[in-house]
Structure 1
């Protein structure tokens, strides 16, 4: 109900007042960030979550929670990952960086996601193999949405000193990387040929 009210200009102010009261009651009750995330029904759909008014409400609670609980501070991306998993969240954020309305927030959350992985002690190999599971990718690796996420982590982790191809070389070896590059090129050429054939038929 509050989500609908927050979207309407005529009821937005009332909704914000009610949300503030609700946030205070949750803070007083000592609810965890996961409890509030679920109470706001933010665990029921990931695709449009960044444009959901209740996502901003949750962010306010998260800020308050971290202020009052410095020893148990939480991050937005960790909360999202606990509900949806690392890979779906990574893909959602990458897609959201390509939309004007969500680009800034998604970019900030991607940075937070990389920081979380680094704080966990993960390197480029660990994120590639154990978080994003890119070693089990079937099809064109370079068109996998999470590969773009990994390349950003490589750049961040190395301070721009290592390219994604160099990092991939270290993980997979020269022969496998070359095979994947050739396969990617062949896939693109085949797709182009099929498109031209359909146009001419």
Structure 2
């Protein structure tokens, strides 16, 4: 740490050759040294200052991707989680809308790509921070995806994703959230039938019938 004495945050970053670390930044032992140095010179609001520095260097979208990946590594999950929360707060303070966030996280690229995108977890962190600081405007992941893609497209995607092992668990969780949303809005199974453009003569052969059957069972169980 002595060789960093008197150096700015940026100078220390370069001196530690962290500018060469790329996507492995958080895995570098020298990153911990830089964080410790930042803590020693700033005393408070360290995580936010670190995020601002990294945002400037990498950009919001790249940093978000790096932090989400680092959260999945046991060796970096703690610091990555803390910095991710700080980044989400920075986005909120900067006035980023949900539309902005979806674009940054590439969650606007098509409903069929949503569940395979690790950034869906990042969106969840942003939503948690939004709800924390906006108690009168509570929202959730299914609300935001519905605004982006609509009930019908989202329902069909979730039903299809339930049949894929890698997305089955998440798809089931989100489908329950969607059904709960419909129930809270007073939507009856007949309306979902109409939304899915079901026909009495052909509905049993309609691949979307599973969505309707699922909601009908959910409706009967919870109504």
Range of TM-score over shorter length: 0.5 to 0.7
Of 81-90 and 103-112, the range deviating more from structure 2:
81-90
d(CA) in 2 for partners of 1:39 and 1:138?
Answer: 43
Return the TM-score normalized by structure 1. 0.66
RMSD of Structure 2 on Structure 1 (CA) = 3.2
Deviations 1:46-67 (A, max 9, x none): 3332232221221233234435
- CA distance, structure 2, for counterparts of residue 153 and residue 166 of structure 1: 13
Corresponding residue of 1:36: 12
Q: Does 1:63 align with 2:39?
A: yes
**Residue 125 of structure 2 corresponds to which residue in structure 1?**
152
Does 2:50 correspond to 1:76?
yes
Matches of 2:83 and 2:68 in 1, distance apart?
10
Aligned to 1:123: 97
Q: Which runs of 5+ in 2 are unaligned?
A: 169-223
1:132 maps to 2:105:
yes
Q: Distance in 1 between matches of 2:16 and 2:71?
A: 24
Call closer, same or farther: CA 1:54–1:169 in 2, change over 3 Å. same
- Equivalent residue of 1:142, what SS? coil
Distance between the aligned counterparts of 1:60 and 1:190, measured in 2? 38
**Structure 2 residue aligned with 1:175, among 129, 141, 152?**
152
Q: Which deviations, in whole Å up to 9, do the C-alpha atoms of 1:15-35 show, x marking residues without a partner?
A: xxxxx2212142xxxx3x233
Q: Could you tell me how far apart the structure 2 residues matched to 1:172 and 1:158 are? A: 21
Which TM-score applies when normalising by structure 2?
0.61
Residue among 7, 16, 22 paired with 2:3: 22
Aligned in 2, Cα 1:190/1:100: closer, same or farther, shift over 3 Å?
Answer: closer
1:15 counterpart residue number: none
Tell me, yes or no, if the aligned pair for 1:168 and 1:177 is still in contact at 8 Å: yes
Q: 1:108 to 1:191 in 2, by over 3 A?
A: closer
- Map of 1:10 onto structure 2: none
From 62, 71, 76, the equivalent of 1:88 is: 62
Contact in 2 for aligned 1:66/1:74 (Cα 8 Å): no
Task: Tell whether the 8 Å contact from 1:62 to 1:74 is kept in structure 2 after alignment.
Answer: no
Per-residue deviation at 1:97?
Answer: 2.0
2: CA distance between counterparts of 1:47 and 1:89? Answer: 9
Q: Deviations over 1:58-87 (max 9, x none)?
A: 12332344359x9xx962222223333323
Q: Distance in 2 between matches of 1:47 and 1:54?
A: 14
Cα–Cα, structure 1 residues 157 and 99, in superposed 2: closer, same or farther, change >3 Å? same
Aligned to 1:8: none
